[in-house]
Chain A
Amino acid sequence: MRLQEKLDLNVISPEQSKPRKKFKTEKWIPYLFILPSTLMVVAFLFYPIGTVFYYSLQNYNLAAPFYDSFAGFDNFIKIFTEDKFFFPSLLTTLKWVVSQVGLQLIFGMIAAILLNKTFKFRGLVRAAAFIPWAISGVLASVMWSLMYNEHMGVINDMLMRLGIIHENQAWLANNSTAFISVVIAELWRGIPFFAITLLASLQSIPEELYEAARVDGAGRWKSFIFVTIPQLKNTIILTTLLRVIWEFNNVDLIFNLTGGGPAGSTTTLTMYIAKQAIHGSNFGYGSALTVISFGILLTFAIVYLKITRFEREEG
């Protein structure tokens, strides 16, 4: 090492190599380095979030500023007592999030286990199975709307050929099928996320644990329950939590496939907020809805982490 040579030659002494003055200026460097990132995050994430709370207590209308005024809790009172879309949207949100996260977890787990085996063309099959993750919600909407289409859709065509249905169905416009149709399309895009994260953690489970289970006489199912699940516990808790937040907020497919209809049957709370934000005139009211949705998610996250006793691995 050069340092050692220089020390040996007494060219510099250890004290000299770090002059006091330089040390003092160095102290500022980490703050200088994190400053731009911090500014960005504060200016475009934390500050806007803060203003939502402020606007929720206002009547705030960009188109008609002369009506702007302090509203107190009026917006909230109106939401809970007069708004006939609010409670149905909560129920739809619950159905949406539970079905999405539950089914994504189950199918993602199956996919991860399958893809963790060794087989020919594994790399290629993995890439193909993960592709929907990289595809935008809007693109997925286009793809599925082409397939669900009443007149030219391939799903009607296939089901008719199989004799399951006898006339064309308008899957996305029909009250009884719209919700499930959007759920399937979103599953297509959501399963790969679980498959990727679960596969990543599956790879880190030491093979010896499975061997030990086998020696103890555990079959495939038992080693899944007693080795795989406990080893994946933290990953599962964290991914499901992040996914709940994500699906709660995700409206790309709902927006583009059904627009929240028919008859509001696919309007989640976030979809309702998006509609308010885009078409509605009172940003104060939309902000109040946003604050409520934030409260719901925050409560959920805290309760969820408590009851699952999530432990952060150290190191």
Chain B
Amino acid sequence: MNGAQKRLDKLFTFNIPILIMLMFTVFPLYWTINTAFKHEGDILKRPLQYVPASPTIENFVSAWTNVGFATYFKNSLIVGICTVVIVIILSILSGYALARYRFKGKRAFLLMLLCTQFIPRSMLIIPLFIVFKHLGLISHPLSLILTYAAVEIPFTTVLMNGFISNVPRELEEAAMIDGCNRMQALRYVIFPLLVPGIVATSVFTFIYTWNEFLLALMLTNQQGRFTLPVGLSYMMGEFNINYGALAAGSVIALIPAVILFSYAQKHLVNGLGGAVKG
């Protein structure tokens, strides 16, 4: 192949496909942002404005104050943060047990974790509703926090097991010889070395809670308790949809997930590579 042929080849096997791919992924995001910044009258106006003619933030103001996104945002944040804290603490403990101890029932525990990955999530909606109904926790943030934590713990435990196994055992032994007990060694020696792994795990757990819909829909029935996905869905189902506020609300819901994701996506490819290989 000469130079011109090579360039042509690259154009068709690389440049054009990657451009199409990027257009396909980015355009829906762009269109939502575009809609969010249009005046209500402009959204329906023909010809469609591919760039807002006179950008406005009125949709954001109305989504945040009138439609209830401030409440949904707060609810999602509470559920997300509490779930992350529980998941991280419990999965460090169980990951530590897996990484550092041989014990009877270890295989059974691992098998149990594996089984959970094959549980269809939709199977949970009816029985969990009944469980939380009996506990009197329907529409209480705890119902979502406990459910999400239980769903996430198996995967994060396996991740933590991997991260902890990477910390040399000698470091811990040295600390214990220097007078630390096991908990102190865990707290002062292992924990600081785990920070990058903990951050990545927290991000993925948080994104899951931020995005989960079906269980949240089933377990909350008061508008004041809606998380963002339930609130958005509720708004989509209304008879007179305020498209500007809907788009603005979506952008608000989008921002934390996208920021966290961009930060952690490198870990994602590398971490998954490790998880699949190991």
The residue among A17, A30, A38, A283 with the most chain B CB atoms within 10 A of its own CB is A30
Size category of the A interface is 35 or more
Q: B21-29, B52-60, B187-195: which one contacts chain A?
A: B21-29
B21, B35, B96: the one contacting A146 at CB < 8 Å is: B35
- In the complex, which residues 224-278 of chain B have their Cβ closer than 8 Å to any Cβ of chain A? 228-230, 232-233, 236, 243, 246-247, 250, 253-254, 257-258, 260-262, 265-266, 268-270, 272-273, 276-278
A281 part of interface (Cβ distance < 8 Å): no
Given A40-B149, A152-B243, A197-B276, verify A242-B117 contact (CB < 8 Å).
yes
B153 part of interface (Cβ distance < 8 Å): yes
Contact across chains for B269 and A129 when beta carbons are under 8 A apart: no
Contact across chains for B31 and A297 when beta carbons are under 8 A apart: no
A125 to B236, CA, bound (A): 31
Residues of the A chain whose Cβ atoms lie less than 8 Å from the Cβ of B228: 136, 138
A270 to B90, CA, bound (A): 31
A188, A200, A252: the one contacting B214 at CB < 8 Å is: A252
A40, A111, A128, A157: the one contacting B153 at CB < 8 Å is: A40
A131 part of interface (Cβ distance < 8 Å): yes
Given A52-B126, A196-B268, A235-B276, verify A248-B207 contact (CB < 8 Å).
no
Contact across chains for B122 and A251 when beta carbons are under 8 A apart: yes
- In the complex, which residues 119-138 of chain A have their Cβ closer than 8 Å to any Cβ of chain B? 119, 123, 125-138
Size category of the B interface is 35 or more
Contact across chains for B174 and A134 when beta carbons are under 8 A apart: no
Contact across chains for B253 and A134 when beta carbons are under 8 A apart: no
B73 part of interface (Cβ distance < 8 Å): no
Contact across chains for B126 and A287 when beta carbons are under 8 A apart: yes
A197 to B275, CA, bound (A): 10
- Please classify the interface of chain B as helix (H, G, I), strand (E, B), loop, or mixed, using the class held by over half of its residues: helix
Contact across chains for B90 and A277 when beta carbons are under 8 A apart: no
Residue of A nearest to B149 (CB): A40
A196 to B270, CA, bound (A): 10
A200 to B101, CA, bound (A): 30
A258 to chain B, nearest CB (A): 11
Contact across chains for B229 and A248 when beta carbons are under 8 A apart: no
- In the complex, which residues 192-206 of chain A have their Cβ closer than 8 Å to any Cβ of chain B? 192, 196-197, 199-201, 203-204
Contact across chains for B21 and A136 when beta carbons are under 8 A apart: no
A301 to B24, CA, bound (A): 32
A49 to chain B, nearest CB (A): 6
B64 part of interface (Cβ distance < 8 Å): no
Nearest 7 interchain pairs by C-beta: A136-B211, A48-B127, A134-B261, A44-B150, A200-B273, A33-B97, A30-B101
A-B contact pairs, 16 of them (CB 8 A): A17-B177, A38-B94, A40-B150, A44-B151, A51-B130, A52-B123, A52-B126, A62-B130, A127-B262, A134-B211, A138-B229, A157-B48, A199-B269, A200-B270, A255-B233, A274-B122
Task: Point out residues on A near B: beta carbons under 8 Å.
Answer: 1-3, 6, 17, 27, 29-31, 33-34, 36-38, 40-41, 43-45, 47-49, 51-52, 55, 62, 110-111, 114, 117, 119, 123, 125-147, 149, 151-152, 154, 157, 188, 192, 196-197, 199-201, 203-204, 234-235, 238, 242, 245, 248-249, 251-252, 255-256, 270, 273-274, 277-278, 283, 286-287, 290, 293-294, 297-298, 301, 313, 315
Task: Point out residues on B near A: beta carbons under 8 Å.
Answer: 14, 17-18, 21-22, 24-26, 28-29, 31-32, 35, 43-44, 47-48, 50, 90-91, 93-94, 96-98, 100-101, 103, 105-106, 109, 112-113, 116-131, 133, 146-147, 149-151, 153-154, 157, 170, 173-174, 177-178, 182, 207, 210-214, 217-218, 228-230, 232-233, 236, 243, 246-247, 250, 253-254, 257-258, 260-262, 265-266, 268-270, 272-273, 276-278
